[in-house]
């Protein structure tokens, strides 16, 4: 792959791996090229490189490609030693057990939220997402919690630069209105969205500091069920916030 743009090559490599999660079946070189919108020659180089490192294998029948479990093994080893998740996962799992709703853990990365962990609820109808998903700050519950956590001057500077696109008809796109909502939510200690990022989804969220990192935790589910159980869910969510605070104090004392 000498001479290729390293950034483009990295993007194509990730695209190539992600398409198998969607396809869930072996793919030919032509199918791969079509799905990641890349020349067959580039795909051939990527596949050969990944094959040489043990990340994909070639089925003799029709020369189709499929990933090995090497990527899974590496990902599991990384996840087991995540400095945040290994401490917080039991708390997040407890929140799912108490509410039945999907629980999300996120961190601000620039002008977006990255989900670090997603533990889906046990209801048949539930909110679904994946670790690594990126969400807008202004229209997601965790995004609001992280914005509200900022000092007023830092928040004002960020909002002055931040684009506030209309994700749904319910999205708050006026910076002043958003600022007022964030300040009200900060004072009461929790944040929410109602159909602002996904029309029929409501989420409740809080933010906490841990290991010098500001994190957001959210409960998300269908609006009707979330609204009906809001006070109960808030009690469980705030209890998790208290547990975060206790853990942070414990870690500071080590």
pLDDT tens digits for 214-226? Answer: 999 999 999 999 9
Q: What is the mean pLDDT of residues 9-19?
A: 90
Judge residue 8's burial from the number of C-beta atoms within 10 Å of its C-beta, 0-12 exposed, 13-18 middle, 19 or more buried. Answer: exposed
Tens-digit pLDDT profile for residues 224-245: 999 999 999 999 999 999 999 9
Helical packing angle, 29-36 and 6-23, nearest 10°:
110
Q: Which long-range contacts (CB under 8 A, 24 or more apart) does 4-9 make?
A: 4/42, 4/45, 9/42, 9/46
Q: What percent of the chain is modeled with pLDDT above 90? A: 67
Q: Which residues contact 93 (CB under 8 A, 6 or more apart)?
A: 103, 119
- For residue 96, which of 209, 251, 221, 243 has the smallest C-alpha distance? 221
Q: What is the mean pLDDT of residues 129-133?
A: 90
What pLDDT is attached to residue 32? Answer: 92
This prediction has a pTM of 0.78
Compute the chain's Rg from CA coordinates. 21
CA distances from 247 to 128, 194, 240 (A): 28, 30, 10
What pLDDT is attached to residue 78? Answer: 81
For 30, the token pair is: 């032509």
Is the distance from CB of 254 to CB of 101 less than 8 angstroms? no
What pLDDT is attached to residue 61? Answer: 67
By three-state DSSP, how is residue 134 classified?
strand
- pLDDT for 129 beyond 80: yes
- Which class would CATH give 82-252? alpha beta
- For residue 192, which of 234, 236, 228 has the smallest C-alpha distance? 234
Q: What is the mean pLDDT of residues 24-50?
A: 91
Q: What percent of the chain is modeled with pLDDT above 70? A: 97
- pLDDT for 90 beyond 80: yes
Does domain 6-72 match CATH 3.40.50.1970? no
By three-state DSSP, how is residue 207 classified?
strand
**For residues 166 and 168, what is the distance between their CA atoms, to the nearest angstrom?**
6
- pLDDT for 2 beyond 80: no
Type and span of the H or E element at 171: none
Average pLDDT of the chain?
91
What pLDDT is attached to residue 254? Answer: 56
Q: What is the mean pLDDT of residues 176-193?
A: 97
CA distances from 160 to 59, 112, 147, 154, 179 (A): 53, 15, 13, 10, 11
pLDDT band of residue 4 (cuts 50, 70, 90) is: low
Q: What is the mean pLDDT of residues 142-167?
A: 95
Kindly list the domain boundaries of the chain, sorted by start residue: 6-72, 82-252
Q: What is the mean pLDDT of residues 164-172?
A: 96
Is the distance from CB of 223 to CB of 235 less than 8 angstroms? no
């Amino acid at each position: 792959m000498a001479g290729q743009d390293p950034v483009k090559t990295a993007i194509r490599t990730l695209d190539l791996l992600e398409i198998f999660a969607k396809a869930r079946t072996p793919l030919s070189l032509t199918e791969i090229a079509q799905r990641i919108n890349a020349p067959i020659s580039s795909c051939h180089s990527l596949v050969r490189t990944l094959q040489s490192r043990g990340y994909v294998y070639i089925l003799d029948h029709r020369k189709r490609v499929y990933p090995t479990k090497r990527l899974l093994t590496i990902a599991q080893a990384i996840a087991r030693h995540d400095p945040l998740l290994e401490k917080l996962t039991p708390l997040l799992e407890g929140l799912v057990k108490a509410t039945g709703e999907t629980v999300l853990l996120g961190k601000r990365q620039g002008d977006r939220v990255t989900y670090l962990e997603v533990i889906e609820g046990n209801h048949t109808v539930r909110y679904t997402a994946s670790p690594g998903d990126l969400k807008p700050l202004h229209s997601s519950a965790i995004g609001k919690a992280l914005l509200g956590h900022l000092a007023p001057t830092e928040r004002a500077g960020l909002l002055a630069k931040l684009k506030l696109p209309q994700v749904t008809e319910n999205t708050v796109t006026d910076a002043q209105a958003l600022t007022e909502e964030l300040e009200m939510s900060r004072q009461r200690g929790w944040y929410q969205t109602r159909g602002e990022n996904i029309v029929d989804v409501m989420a409740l969220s809080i933010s906490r500091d841990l290991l010098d990192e500001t994190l957001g935790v959210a409960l998300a589910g269908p609006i009707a069920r979330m609204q009906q159980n809001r006070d109960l869910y808030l009690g469980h969510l705030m209890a998790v916030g208290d547990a975060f605070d206790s853990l942070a104090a414990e870690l500071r004392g080590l």
